[in-house]
Amino acid sequence: QLVESGGGLVQPGRSLRLSCVAAGFTFDDYAMHWVREAPGKGLEWVSGISWNSGSTGYADSVKGRFTISRDNTKNSLYLQMDSLRLEDMALYYCAKDRGTTVTTSWGFDFWGQGTVVTVSS
């Protein structure tokens, strides 16, 4: 089970931190990811992190503005989103990888229900 939180209404240029708490599997055995779905658009991979935080990856659209992290002692995944833009408005999903690192991914086998981020002035 993956449960996201932290979404909400934020002004352009401001920050927001998303969280995802995992249960039902050995969290620190797997890579984790954030994926978003903007209104009326398709799925977009945002960022991923390896099992031990040793490697991360970011979509070009968020690189330099978003930071992914995890705390394996709390079975938790985070996404720090800075300098938010209108185009960041979306439903953000937390997803579990079948593999251990971003570069050896086998795709995602569990997804949360998502948390909504609204960017508006």
Looking only at the bridges linking them, the beta strands covering 108-111 and 2-5 are unpaired
| Piece of the chain touching another protein by CB under 8 A; list 15-23, 55-63, 67-75, 76-84 | 55-63
Taking a C-beta distance cutoff of 8 angstroms, is the pair 35, 95 a contact? yes
33 forms part of the interface with another protein (CB under 8 A): yes
Residues 41, 20: Cα–Cα separation, whole Å? 23
| Identity of the residue, 12 or 61, whose beta carbon is nearer to another protein in the bound complex | 61
| Piece of the chain touching another protein by CB under 8 A; list 17-25, 38-46, 65-73, 78-86 | 38-46
**Residue in 82, 117, 96 with CA at minimum distance from that of residue 34:** 96
Q: Contact positions toward another protein, by CB under 8 A?
A: 33, 35, 42-45, 48, 55, 57, 59-60, 93, 98, 102-103, 105-109, 111-114
